[in-house]
Each structure stands twice: as structure tokens, then as C-alpha cells.
Amino acid sequence: MDAVPLALDGYLAAEAEPGDRDGTASWRLTCSAGTDHLVEEAVIPCTTMEPEIAHALLTERQPGDLLRVIGHLMLPDTANGVIQLHADTLEVLWEAPLLDADEDGDDADTATAAETDADRNSAIAALAEALTGFGQATPGPGQSIRIHISPTGALGSGLEHCHSIDVTPAMAHRLADYVDAMSCYLDSERPDSTVLDPQTIADLTELFEDVDLIDLTNVVLNATRPENRSAVTPAMDDMFGDVPASEDTDP
């Protein structure tokens, strides 16, 4: 069989099994092409003759761990042959948290847990779909940033809820800007249970009355990268009302 040097990132699909000889092991790696489409996922059989790798897989690793396997992909000589990745190096990129197997719950707890899982899984799917659309531009070689999304807990058969999305550095900067803007908006919301005393309200009112919104807008837009101004301007409109467009600010 031909051997092709290869490095694969994927989730451990099930517990590893010992090989026919001491110091060997076999396992299955669930890999994704970088989108949330299940048709683009593949399960790759892996083997190793490295005793340290075999020991780690058999004693330390669990289903759901995100692994990077580096080795040689063995291509079969016949159409019905088996493709296998013979691993020379193994890296753990993310460890799936352990669940407490001793916890018992009644039917109500089970139903609540199922609803919680459904909400979580739908949220993961929505986030993965949004990020996949966000990073549709194909990153250049060596320039992509990979984002892994998965539920917490021992995954086992829940690997369909694991996603890997590649984005360019420019897209990652934009995503960080959106998250920062969202965090500022959420932090500005005051809980209904919080009651400010009259003097504090008077001080805040006086403070904001002295703020020049045009000057504030110019400062914010001039400190923002040009490609992000189109997103910042509507956000400031929502907070303060209509603000000058970016072309109205100082260069």
C-alpha cells in the first residue's frame, strides 16, 4: 500500500482498543472538512505501533477528546481495501470533561436534562451555522484560524454536535470586534432589581448632559479601523440616535 504523510484533527469516536501485539492500539477518529455539514465528515481508522501513544490512548484518552494525529495514511491496493492512518505522533488539542457516572435522577430530571440538551444542541448548531457562513472565504495555506465548538461532558455518540470552522485572520478580527461590541451592549443593561439613589441619578444625568455626542462620535470612528466603521456607526446610532457618517469625521 502507498503511504501518504498526513496530519488530521478529529474527535476520538470510541474507546481505543489494544492491538494484536503489546504496545499497539487502534481507534477511530471523526474528522470534519471544516463545515457543519455531516456529509463532509469522515471516520478514519487509526493504528499505532508506538508504545507511548498506545498507552495514552488505552489509559488516558476518552471518547470526545479532540486529537491531532500525525503519521502516514496507508492507501489500499484494491477498491475494497481498508484505509488506515498509522500514527507516529499524537497531540491532545482538547480534553472532553468527565461526567459523574454515579448520579441518579428520576423521570422528571431526565426530561429536564433532555430539554436542556436539546436547547444546547440547537444553540451549538445555530452558532456553527453562523460561523460557517461568516468564514465562507477560503483561508490561504497556513493562514487559517480553526474554531472548535462542542458540548461539554463525555461526548460518546454525540459527536454530531462537534464542529470545526476555519476563518481567516481578518475574519477573526471582525468577529472579535462584534463580540466586544456585544459585550459592551450587554454590560450597559442594568438589572431591574437594581435601584439607584436620587443623588446618583442626578450625578449621572449631569455627567451625560455634558457629553458632546459629535466629539464622542468622531473620537470613536477615528479610532476604528476603516473596514469596521460601517458596523460601528449603526451601533452608535442605536445608543445615541443618529451620528455623523464616517466620511464626516476627521481623517
For residue range 201-248, what is the model confidence (pLDDT) as tens digits? 777 777 777 777 777 777 777 888 887 778 777 777 776 665 555 455
| Per-residue pLDDT, 225 | 80
| Per-residue pLDDT, 87 | 95
Q: Give the residue from 72, 67, 65 showing the smallest Cα distance to 87.
A: 72
The pLDDT tens digits of the residues spanning 101-158 come to 444 555 556 666 677 778 888 888 888 887 777 655 555 555 678 788 877 764 555 6
Domain with CATH 2.40.50.140 in the chain: 2-94
Q: State the average pLDDT for the chain.
A: 76
Q: Give the residue from 24, 32, 101, 82 showing the smallest Cα distance to 57.
A: 24
Segments in the chain forming alpha helices (H): 51-59, 107-134, 169-187, 198-209, 213-222, 229-240
Provide the terminal-to-terminal Cα distance of the chain, rounded to the nearest Å. 63
Using the structure block, give the residue that is written with the C-alpha cell 432589581. 193
Instruction: Kindly report the backbone phi and psi dihedral angles of residue 15, in degrees, each rounded to the nearest multiple of 5, phi listed first.
Output: -60, 140
Distance CA 8, CA 241 (A): 50
The pLDDT tens digits of the residues spanning 18-67 come to 999 999 999 999 887 554 444 457 889 999 999 999 999 999 999 889 99
- CATH class of this structure's domain 2-94: mainly beta
